[in-house]
Amino acid sequence: MSHGSPCTTGHAAPQEALERRLESELAEIRTAGLWRELRRVDSAQGRRIRVGNREVLNFSSNDYLGLANHVVLREAAIKAIEKFGCGSGASRLVCGSLSPHHQFEESIAAFTGSEAALAFNSGHAAALGAIGALMGSHDVVVIDRLAHASLVDAVRLSGARLLVFPHNDLDGLERVLRRRDCQGAVRRPRVLVVTESVFSMDGDRAPLGEIVEIKDRFGAWLMVDEAHATGLFGDRRSGLGEQPGLGDRIEIRMATLGKALGSSGGCICGSRKLVDLLVNRARSFIFTTAPVPAASAAASAAIEIVQSDEGARRHHRLWQNVAGMAELLTDVTTSPANGASAIFPIVVGSESVAMKAASNLFERGVLAPGIRFPTVARGAARLRVSLTSDHTHDDLGLLARALREILANAG
Ligand SMILES: *Cc1c(COP(=O)(O)O)cnc(C)c1O
């Protein structure tokens, strides 16, 4: 008898089994009309980008202020590379805590009016780290139904009980907070309410003032994901959480650096003690190599631009574009959020209609992605148009005309 592994006797080689399994899962995805593939882009981000051998008008990026390819960010990144190199070498706690990260954290803490801040490699990692560090299996997280997948993943990974309240529904939030789960008699659980300030796929805003009142009344904490608001809202433009009277009452503010700030990474802003706890407990901070120095340096440069006269001009152009687009789309989108942010969802319902509309748009030289399950609910597929300060009035007109024709033909 051979000593060959008994596990493989009579079975296909494991590699073959894996390939077959992959094949059947891929077939399932295709059949469901949910197939996704990457589209290679051969240029920097901007209002026009190169895709394959053509140039298209880009309404798909979150580079709201046109900073991703801004000369000042590029120079800041290059300088950081020249001084600190490309890689950070190790985790922040080992030897990767390079000064560009500290500078960035000081700068975003001042920007958001927080005591302290901690940078992560991505917004996704920031969500995992913060929720995982604070919440455990005895605790409850109450989350808006439309909150980003990274927040949902974070709650699941933390082991906390996940309760959902209907989107932006204050009575719904109260109802959930009144449930027994949140009012544990034996060992009062810690309760964390989680929402986005601007919703990534719907473009509407959370009623933060009211949410803060409610969570305070119930003694819960609040985490606000400002991914689509950082750099865009408020007098200082640090996000919706900077509204007077809110700052101190939002325990955890999350920012992403890859959207309006034109760089890459995530960040948690809050008290010094919160940040100290994250340094000690957040696994997605501890067990990962620090962000590249260029990313932190570019984000610091972005925060400076946002607060400068140029930032004010970019801001003004963006909001002019938002107002213009809202008007052009009044008959195309029925979204009540039309104009509340730089994100315009054009909900068509059917996944196949949304994907067909996106591909028709692309044929006309316009890139606006079709968004479908699991990014949004089944049957709520949409085109997602996002505007930047660099779009021109003609760009908006072209998009609106194309949308109107394509959607009319789609019936
Ligand atoms: C993009 C996004 C994130 C994740 O941020 P990354 O830096 O891209 O990982 C988290 N929350 C929301 C609402 C987002 O839109």
Q: Which of 61, 63, 200, 205 to mutate to test the pocket of ligand 1 (most atoms within 8 A of CB)?
A: 200
* Spatial strand order in the sheet of 116-120: 116-120, 266-270, 252-256, 221-225, 191-196, 140-144, 161-165
Nearest atom in ligand 1 to the alpha carbon of residue 265 is 7
Q: How confident is the model at residue 247 (pLDDT cuts 50, 70, 90)?
A: confident
User: CB of 375 within 8 A of CB of 407?
Assistant: no
Whether 62 is a known active-site residue: answer yes
- Please give the pLDDT value at position 364: 94
Nearest atom in ligand 1 to the alpha carbon of residue 258 is 7
Stated as kind and residue range, the H or E segment containing 169 is none
Ligand 1 within 6 A of CB of 122: yes
Q: Which two structure tokens, joined as six digits, stand for 92?
A: 């922040």
- Please give the pLDDT value at position 1: 46
Would you say residue 188 has pLDDT above 70? Answer: no
Q: How far apart are CA 271 and CA 39, in angstroms?
A: 41
Q: How confident is the model at residue 59 (pLDDT cuts 50, 70, 90)?
A: very high
- Please give the pLDDT value at position 154: 98
CA 44 to chain centre: 20
DSSP state of 342: S
Q: Which of 120, 230, 256 to mutate to test the pocket of ligand 1 (most atoms within 8 A of CB)?
A: 256
pLDDT in tens, 10-20: 677 999 999 99
Q: Which two structure tokens, joined as six digits, stand for 321?
A: 């574009």
Least reliable range by pLDDT among 78-92, 202-216, 345-359: 345-359
- Please give the pLDDT value at position 395: 97
In this prediction, residues 342-349 reach a mean pLDDT of 94
User: CB of 220 within 8 A of CB of 192?
Assistant: yes
Strand-strand pairing, 221-225 and 191-196: parallel
Ligand 1 within 6 A of CB of 196: yes
In this prediction, residues 196-222 reach a mean pLDDT of 96
Whether 315 is a known active-site residue: answer no
Say which residue, 335 or 133, is predicted with more confidence. Answer: 133
Q: How confident is the model at residue 189 (pLDDT cuts 50, 70, 90)?
A: confident
pLDDT in tens, 252-291: 999 999 999 999 999 999 999 999 999 999 999 999 999 9
Ligand 1 within 6 A of CB of 386: no
Supply the residue whose CA is at minimum distance from atom 5 of ligand 1: 123
Q: How far apart are CA 390 and CA 384, in angstroms?
A: 18
- Please give the pLDDT value at position 251: 97
Least reliable range by pLDDT among 26-30, 142-146, 252-256, 331-335: 331-335
Residues 6+ apart with CB under 8 A from 152: 143, 162
- Please give the pLDDT value at position 408: 86
Q: How confident is the model at residue 187 (pLDDT cuts 50, 70, 90)?
A: low
The residue annotated as part of the active site, out of 62, 114, 263, 284, is: 62
Residue with tokens 């700052």: 247
Ligand 1 within 6 A of CB of 239: no
Say which residue, 200 or 180, is predicted with more confidence. Answer: 200
* Spatial strand order in the sheet of 366-367: 48-51, 54-58, 366-367
- Please give the pLDDT value at position 168: 98
User: Does the CA dihedral 402-394-370-223 come out positive or negative?
Assistant: negative
Say which residue, 5 or 401, is predicted with more confidence. Answer: 401
Largest CA distance in the chain: 81
Supply the residue whose CA is at minimum distance from atom 14 of ligand 1: 227
Least reliable range by pLDDT among 7-11, 109-113, 300-304: 7-11
- Please give the pLDDT value at position 344: 95
The residue annotated as part of the active site, out of 63, 196, 226, 251, is: 196
pLDDT in tens, 20-52: 999 999 999 999 888 998 999 999 999 999 998
Ligand 1 within 6 A of CB of 266: yes
Strand-strand pairing, 252-256 and 266-270: antiparallel
Supply the residue whose CA is at minimum distance from atom 10 of ligand 1: 123
Nearest to 340, CA basis, from 207, 214, 193, 166:
207
Q: What is the pTM of this model?
A: 0.94
Ligand 1 within 6 A of CB of 388: no
Q: 4 CA to middle of ligand 1, Å? A: 48
- Please give the pLDDT value at position 204: 96
Across all residues in the chain, what is the average pLDDT? 93
Whether 225 is a known active-site residue: answer yes
The residue annotated as part of the active site, out of 148, 215, 315, 391, is: 148
DSSP state of 222: E
Would you say residue 239 has pLDDT above 90? Answer: yes
Backbone φ and ψ for 235, nearest 5 degrees, come out as -60, -40
Backbone φ and ψ for 51, nearest 5 degrees, come out as -125, 115
Q: 129 CA to middle of ligand 1, Å? A: 13
Nearest to 410, CA basis, from 361, 357, 350, 368:
357
Whether 393 is a known active-site residue: answer no
Would you say residue 101 has pLDDT above 80? Answer: yes
Q: 14 CA to middle of ligand 1, Å? A: 36
